[in-house]
Amino acid sequence: MEHKKGCSGTPLESVLTERDWLFRSKPFRHVTAQEVFVPDFYSNLESAFRSIMRKGLSEQPDNHRFSRNMRKYDAYGYCFQNGECGPFEIFFEQQWHDVFVRLFNTTSSGDLEVCLHHHSIGGASGNAHNDLNDSWYPEKKDGAITVATNVHIHPSNPPKPGENQRLVMRSIAILFYLNNPVWQRGDGGETGLYTYRDQPIDQPDRAVPPRNNSLLAFECTPYSYHSFISNVSQPRNSLIMWIHRNFKETCDAWGEENIIWWHK
């Protein structure tokens, strides 16, 4: 883990294109947006994604390239290392963080996790889950944004006794789709949104396609059931990030009994 403060110097209003984001209430509260960034900026994101992809895929956890680092999830993940963010820095910044905290009218502990995911063709569908999970972050002295780079790799490892760590909870999940072939109905790779946890994965209430330069965001609640739906004919790439909030505020909002602990 590391402390990191966004410093791209890029004002968000200068790179956002579409300012008509859609806030929907069914099957649970979520936001979608198309053509999120201006073409030049989006193009830089794609280039940066491709340069990471060129390092190849690893079947073992590897901090330096896309690797099999997620249990029970048929995808390769890449977590950003210090100084390697390039244009992705925008996702680590306070201004980006504040947009979503304001949209969902929630609180934040200022702790972020930002990763890239790659599903090869034929990636298996996941299970419906709600992301109301725990995370551990280092103590911090100021209100700066804190970024975790390895909690996604080892989410099931709570800190050992004596380690000075804070318990926080995932509060908002944001998926940004990029570097994908042109999506057509039938390609799969959507993010399914569900009313029920045991709903068939291929029968979501809503399926958000992985169209380039679009995003999906939702608050992590006991009801935010979602899943990756198998990408039958095209690879599927995305950036995924979580904004966290304090344990107590999460318990007040959703009840401690509804938290899904990684290590249990």
- What residue ranges bind other proteins (CB under 8 A)? 12-13, 16, 19-26, 31, 33, 99, 102-103
Q: Which residue's CB is nearer to other proteins, number 18 or number 46?
A: 18
Instruction: Kindly state the smallest distance separating residue 230's Cβ from other proteins, in Å.
Output: 25
> Which of residues 25 and 184 has its CB atom nearest to other proteins in the complex?
25
In the complex, what is the shortest distance from the CB of residue 13 to other proteins, in angstroms, rounded to a whole number? 6
In the complex, minimum distance from the CB of residue 149 to other proteins, in angstroms, rounded to a whole number: 26
Q: Which is nearer to other proteins, 100 or 137 (CB)?
A: 100
What single DSSP character describes residue 196? S
Shortest spacing between CB 100 and other proteins, in angstroms:
8
Of 38 and 103, the one with the shorter C-beta distance to other proteins is 103
Torsion sign across C-alpha atoms 215, 221, 227, 228: positive
Is the separation of the CB atoms in 110 and 143 below 8 Å?
Answer: yes
In angstroms, the CA 177 to CA 17 distance is 15
Comparing CB distances to other proteins, the nearer of 102 and 141 is: 102
β-bridge mates for residue 231, sequence order: 123, 188
Q: Torsion angle of alpha carbons 241, 144, 46, 130, nearest 10°?
A: 10
CA contacts within 13 A on the Cβ side of 238: 23
DSSP string, 130-143: ---BEEEEE--SSS
Alpha helices in 146-211 (DSSP H): none
